[in-house]
Structure 1
Amino acid sequence: MKKLTVLLITITFGLQLQAQKVNQEDSLMLRNIYDMSLLNGKSYDWLDYLSNEIGGRLSGSIQAEQAVNYTESELKELGLDKVWLQPVMVPKWTRGLPEYAYIETGPGKTTITNICALGGSVPTPDGGIKAQVIEVQGLEDLANYGRDQIEGKIVFYNRPMQADLINTFEAYGGCVDQRYAGAMEAAKYGAVGIIVRSMNLRNDDLPHTGAMSYGDTPPDQRIPAAAISTNGADFLSSTLKILPTLKFYFKQNCRTFDDVQSYNVIGEITGSTYPDKYMVVGGHLDSWDLGDGSHDDGAGCVQSMEVLRIFKELNYKPKHSIRVVLFMNEENGLRGGRKYASEAKLKNEEHIFALESDAGGFTPRGFSFDTDAENFAQIESWKPLFEPYYIHSFTKGGSGADIGPLKDGKVVLAGLRPDSQRYFDHHHAASDTFDAVNKRELELGAATMTSLIYLVDKYGTTNEVTKVKN
Structure 2
Amino acid sequence: MKKLNTLLLIFTFTLAGFAQNNSVSEDSLMLRKLYEQSLLNGKSYEWLDHLSNNIGGRLSGSVNAERAVKYTKAELEKLGLDKVWLQPVMVPKWTRGVQEYAYVQVAEGTTTPVNITALGGSVATPETGLRAEVVEVHGLEELASLGKEKLAGKIVFYNRPMQPDVIHTFEAYGGCVDQRYSGAAEAAKYGAAGVIVRSMSHKIDKYPHTGSMSYGELPDEKRIPAAAISTQDADYLSSMLKLNKDLSFYYKMNCKNYPDVESYNVIGEITGSENPEEIIVVGGHLDSWDLGDGSHDDGAGVVQSMEVLRLFKESGITPKKTIRVVLFMNEENGLRGGKKYAEVATAKNENHVFALESDSGGFTPRGFSFDASPQQFQKVQSWEPLFKPYLIHYFELGGSGADIGPLKGGNTVLAGLRPDSQRYFDYHHAATDTFEAVNKRELELGAATMASLVYLVDKYGFDSIQNQPDILK
For the criterion TM > 0.5, the same-fold answer is yes
Q: Give the C-alpha shift of residue 112 in structure 1.
A: 0.2
Structure 2 unmatched ranges of 5 or more: none
Q: Secondary structure at the match of 1:45?
A: helix
Q: Give the C-alpha shift of residue 31 in structure 1.
A: 0.4
Q: Give the C-alpha shift of residue 18 in structure 1.
A: 1.3
Separation of aligned partners in 1, 2:227 and 2:12: 68
Separation of aligned partners in 1, 2:449 and 2:170: 21
User: Where do residues 85-234 of structure 1 align in structure 2 (5 Å cutoff)?
Assistant: 85-234=86-235
Q: Give the C-alpha shift of residue 19 in structure 1.
A: 1.1
Deviations 1:242-299 (A, max 9, x none): 1001000000000001100000000000000011111000000000000000000000
Q: Which amino acid aligns with 2:444?
A: E
Separation of aligned partners in 1, 2:426 and 2:9: 59
Separation of aligned partners in 1, 2:286 and 2:307: 15
Q: Secondary structure at the match of 1:166?
A: coil
Deviations 1:60-101 (A, max 9, x none): 000000000000000000000000000000000000000000
Separation of aligned partners in 1, 2:12 and 2:420: 43
Separation of aligned partners in 1, 2:285 and 2:130: 35
Structure 1 unmatched ranges of 5 or more: none
Deviations 1:145-174 (A, max 9, x none): 111111110000000000001100000000
Q: Give the C-alpha shift of residue 6 in structure 1.
A: 4.1
TM norm structure 1: 0.98
Q: Which amino acid aligns with 1:148?
A: E
Deviations 1:151-202 (A, max 9, x none): 1100000000000011000000000000000000000011000000000000
Q: Give the C-alpha shift of residue 332 in structure 1.
A: 0.2
Match for residue 432 of structure 2?
A: 431
Separation of aligned partners in 1, 2:125 and 2:196: 12
Q: Secondary structure at the match of 1:105?
A: strand
Q: Secondary structure at the match of 1:11?
A: helix
Match for residue 275 of structure 1?
A: 276
| 1:420 corresponds to 2:412 | no
Separation of aligned partners in 1, 2:333 and 2:405: 15
| 1:349 corresponds to 2:356 | no
Q: Secondary structure at the match of 1:26?
A: helix
Match for residue 248 of structure 1?
A: 249
Q: Which amino acid aligns with 2:290?
A: D
Match for residue 18 of structure 1?
A: 19
Q: Which amino acid aligns with 2:396?
A: T
Separation of aligned partners in 2, 1:173 and 1:76: 38
Q: Secondary structure at the match of 1:343?
A: helix
Q: Secondary structure at the match of 1:278?
A: strand
Q: Secondary structure at the match of 1:91?
A: strand
Separation of aligned partners in 2, 1:43 and 1:434: 12
| 1:322 corresponds to 2:316 | no
Deviations 1:373-412 (A, max 9, x none): 1110001000000000000000001000000000013100
Separation of aligned partners in 1, 2:450 and 2:429: 24
Does structure 2 conserve the Cα–Cα contact (< 8 Å) formed by 1:411 and 1:463?
no
Q: Give the C-alpha shift of residue 11 in structure 1.
A: 3.0
Q: Which amino acid aligns with 1:9?
A: I
Give the 3 Å change call, closer, same or farther, for CA 463–136 of structure 1 in structure 2.
farther
Q: Which amino acid aligns with 2:394?
A: S
Separation of aligned partners in 2, 1:4 and 1:109: 97
User: Where do residues 280-295 of structure 1 align in structure 2 (5 Å cutoff)?
Assistant: 280-295=281-296
Separation of aligned partners in 1, 2:435 and 2:321: 34
Identity in percent:
68
Separation of aligned partners in 1, 2:46 and 2:123: 37
Q: Which amino acid aligns with 2:368?
A: F
Match for residue 399 of structure 2?
A: 398
Separation of aligned partners in 2, 1:39 and 1:209: 36
Q: Which amino acid aligns with 2:102?
A: A
User: Where do residues 332-347 of structure 1 align in structure 2 (5 Å cutoff)?
Assistant: 332-347=333-348
Equivalenced residue count is: 468
Separation of aligned partners in 2, 1:207 and 1:5: 73
Q: Secondary structure at the match of 2:378?
A: helix
Q: Secondary structure at the match of 2:85?
A: strand
Match for residue 311 of structure 2?
A: 310
Q: Give the C-alpha shift of residue 5 in structure 1.
A: 4.5
Q: Secondary structure at the match of 2:376?
A: helix
Q: Secondary structure at the match of 1:165?
A: coil
TM norm structure 2: 0.97
Q: Give the C-alpha shift of residue 314 in structure 1.
A: 1.3
Match for residue 34 of structure 2?
A: 33
Does structure 2 conserve the Cα–Cα contact (< 8 Å) formed by 1:458 and 1:468?
no
Separation of aligned partners in 2, 1:169 and 1:59: 23
Separation of aligned partners in 1, 2:70 and 2:275: 30
Q: Secondary structure at the match of 1:148?
A: helix
Separation of aligned partners in 1, 2:348 and 2:274: 20
Q: Give the C-alpha shift of residue 37 in structure 1.
A: 0.2
Q: Which amino acid aligns with 1:425?
A: D
Does structure 2 conserve the Cα–Cα contact (< 8 Å) formed by 1:206 and 1:430?
yes
